[in-house]
Structure 1
């Protein structure tokens, strides 16, 4: 908090001193509250630490204003749910228990102690976690309006007239918040909508604080160094073993180069999917769409492959994909972990509901959810995938023959069948499985 220039100035102006206890402001009734400057700082810190590109800090500030007036000790009893809403974000102990137990938001150890919900950072962190879950409710990308109204009335009331007034108040409150510093967003270089002004720490003056070595295991780092293309790229940019920097854009968001991303895909498939194959280029193209190669993900998508924690945990526990342990949301910011569970999810989708699925179905189901695929109406999504794929492979070389992901648990004697070129199958061919 002291490192925030606005907070520091505000605190010094009222006589607070660094190293001593900082007093909370009090309203006329003696109730403690956070100033707008303090609230903005808390929300910004929580977002930067845990929800980069997933949650807007202004959303947290506006909801805190509406729910509690920024009062950390605020409580409210909900007669219908019989829950006692607590803290700045007015979150219930039942919701917290679910977030911690089922979604593994365990950065702050609540351990059944609901009094900890009165701590601003704990409360805002858990409120943000709930909003992130709402942002991808039922595997559908949700609007800001849906998230805010669902936060107030639950998912069933997100479009009900009873939450409309809350949404209107929310919009009004956002207009009164302290103006945020505005950065020119520069996306990944060479991505479909990228800006040429993105800054890589390998070329800039300031070294990146987040490194490859801090995100991945020594074994995976050794595999990366053994990749000729990666080794060449890292050596050329002056990287050293144990201190390999991740590239960052102008908002200091870490991302992978296409060379790095392809190497991760190749390593994961070679080590863990020898009998369930999808081309590395296909995984890379998916990552290009869902995360634009950002290590932390984009929007509500977590990590490189955009896999959320519940899906990864289900693949781990129920389907036996246990080469990587996933115990928290943060684990999915490891590129290898995200790529592994992304490939596993594609394996499952390839035989969704016990039927052999087409390449287009698998791709579109991965991006928008299997229940939302309409092969007659989602052509643009497939074309977007083809465009992303073109960054990774030669269309002419791959036109007539290429392997597609096939999950053949329980099947043997696989044989490859090649299909004639087709506008929608230009990169693919099926692996057909047959039982003995």
Structure 2
């Protein structure tokens, strides 16, 4: 293989290197080993001279990638355990060969170039460029990014929420062998490796803070290694001006000390960014008034769906991406085939932008309201949005509808008119 890494700086960009130094455990480990910030950092090497990541470094890369791109959707422990099994954390590992395609899997997560290209082309994972340059998969951040993307796809394979066992065994042998006896030994080894990972400081997830109507104080800037996520990085200048022009939002932001050009998202105790209900309602109001004024879609309905699919977390929850849980392929179809082009969708990361997610959520809702050329009732549209139009079952969708009504009651216009659940 042509790729050869001696220093960390050889296989990461400046932004990723800075992120590594901000991880307290990494900076401590590096400083203790005699590394200095501003100079090149040596990669560890095994007795054969092959570079590898320490468990501390591996954990940091997984944490950073998940925090940036897959928050609450892929667990870093799963990534770390698979990296141990797949490559022993060696970035130049080439252990697995696909006899059919005659391709060699690359990197820490042992990703086939064709798999990475498919994730880029069809699912919009474009944070790192790999097309025409498969050796990029030898870079730790790139390999973990595409490994996590594949794990996320497996977690919702065929539109079903999959178990950890299915995901891990499918990663090893493909989805068709996820229940085959040939992948069972891999699952057992995975459990042993995961159990032996270094202990991690962990706070049980809590959605209480994300369910408040207003934004609490953001985490202290003194939090070691904490990096704020800003509204301004995920919304255009025009959309930010619309938000500041919204009286309730302006009041909330001003009261929490936000400044124009640098508005922080609220973060829960696990440092996941989310929207307050005031912010959520404002985004829905703006999107609908600008782009769907003739369709009659109600802001409260979009807000209630966001409560159900993402709990208003910016990056989404589980396999669903973004506030509205719209995946890249659906948004791209709405963009290309149905002409919803107010916002571009160049990559899956665009779906974590609040205005983009709500826009395509509203577009999908509008399409479902006239599914197969028939005007549909809310009792059809809501379960169809959550489970797919072909999976709507009157009896099974009853609990979903009750949850939807409960979420709907969080918004003022529904409280004033509790009997009205009209969507269109």
Aligned counterpart, 1:358: 377
Structure number with greater Rg is 1
Consecutive unaligned residues of structure 2, counting only runs of 5 or more, are 1-19
2:49 matched residue in structure 1: 30
Query: How many Å apart are 1:42 and its aligned residue?
Result: 1.4
Q: Say whether 1:316 aligns with 2:335.
A: yes
Corresponding residue of 1:429: none
Q: Quick one: which of 33, 39, 44 aligns to 2:63?
A: 44
- Alpha carbons 2:210, 2:311 under 8 Å: kept: no
Cα shift readout 1:175-228 (whole Å, capped 9, x = no counterpart): 01111111243325373xx8x9x9833596769832222221121122222223
Cα 1:35–1:236 change in 2 (3 A) is closer
CA shift, 1:127, in A, is: 0.9
2:320 is aligned to: 301
Structure 2 match to 1:86 = 106
Q: Does the CA-based 8 Å contact 1:199-1:250 persist in structure 2?
A: no
Shift of the alpha carbon at 1:6? 2.4
Q: 2:107, 2:139 within 8 Å by CA — same for their partners in 1?
A: yes
Give the direction of change, closer, same or farther, for the CA distance of 1:159–1:349 in structure 2 (3 Å limit).
farther
Partner Cα separation in structure 1 for residue 130 and residue 323 of structure 2: 29
Q: Is the CA contact (8 Å cut-off) linking 1:199 and 1:249 kept in structure 2?
A: no
Write out per-residue CA displacement over residues 339-382 of structure 1, whole angstroms, 9 at most, x where no aligned residue.
00001111122233334333122111211222332221232111
8 A Cα contact 1:201 1:246, kept in partner: no
Q: 1:394 to 1:275 in 2, by over 3 A?
A: closer
Q: Does the Cα contact within 8 Å between 1:188 and 1:292 map onto a contact in 2?
A: no
Structure 1: distance between partners of 2:396 and 2:122: 35
In the other structure, the counterpart of 1:201 is 217
Distance 1:351 1:122, change over 3 A: same
2:409 corresponds to which residue?
A: 390
Instruction: Write the distance in 2 (CA, Å) between the matches of 1:205 and 1:40.
Output: 23
Per-residue CA deviations over 1:300-343 (Å, capped at 9, x if unaligned) read 22111111111111111111100111111121222111100001
Contact map agreement 2:219 2:267 (CA 8 A) in 1? no
The structural deviation recorded for 1:267 is 1.1
Aligned partners of 1:188 and 1:255 also within 8 Å: no
- 1:217-236 to 2 correspondences below 5 Å: 217-236=236-255
Root-mean-square deviation over aligned CA pairs? 2.4
Q: Find the counterpart in structure 2 of residue 344 from structure 1.
A: 363
Distance 2:21 2:220 in 1: 27
Structure 2 match to 1:60: 79
Distance in 2, Cα, partners of 1:297 & 1:52? 7
Match of 2:303 in 1: 284
Tell whether 2:271 aligns with 1:255.
no
1:427 alignment partner in structure 2: none
User: Which residues of structure 1 form unaligned runs of 5+?
Assistant: 406-436
Equivalent position of 1:269 in the other structure? 288
Q: Give 1 or 2: higher helix fraction.
A: 2
Q: Which residue of 1 aligns with 2:124?
A: 104
SS at match of 2:21: coil
Worse-matched range after superposition: 348-357 or 152-161: 348-357
1:182 is aligned to 202
Of 138, 147, 150, the match for 1:127: 147
Which runs of structure 2 are paired with 1:228-247 in the superposition (5 Å)? Answer: 228-247=247-266
Shift of 1:107: 1.5
Aligned length: 401
**What is the distance in 2 between the residues matched to 1:307 and 1:64?**
29
Say if 1:264 and 1:339, in contact at 8 Å, map to a contact too.
Answer: yes
Contact 1:140/1:368 (CA < 8 Å) preserved in 2? Answer: no
Structure 2 residue corresponding to 1:95, chosen from 115, 120, 124: 115
Change (3 A) 1:29 1:286: same
Partners of 1:19 and 1:190 lie apart in 2 by: 38
CA–CA separation in structure 2 for the residues paired with 1:190 and 1:88? 35
d(CA) in 2 for partners of 1:199, 1:232: 11
Shift of 1:285: 0.2
Which residue does 1:115 correspond to in 2? Answer: 135
Displacement of 1:60 in angstroms is 0.6
Tell me what 1:168 maps to.
188
User: In the superposition, relative to structure 1, how do residues 189 and 369 fare at CA in structure 2: closer, same or farther (>3 Å)?
Assistant: same
Q: TM-score, normalised by structure 1?
A: 0.85
* Aligned partners of 2:266 and 2:276 also within 8 Å: yes
Q: 1:340 and 1:188, CA in 2 relative to 1: closer, same or farther beyond 3 A?
A: farther
CA displacement at 1:241 relative to structure 2: 2.7
1:408 aligned residue:
none
User: Higher relative CO (CA 8 A, sep ≥ 6), structure 1 or 2?
Assistant: 2
TM-score, length-normalised on structure 2? 0.87
Kept in 2, the 8 Å contact 1:200–1:249? The answer is no
Where 1:86 maps in the other structure, the secondary structure is coil
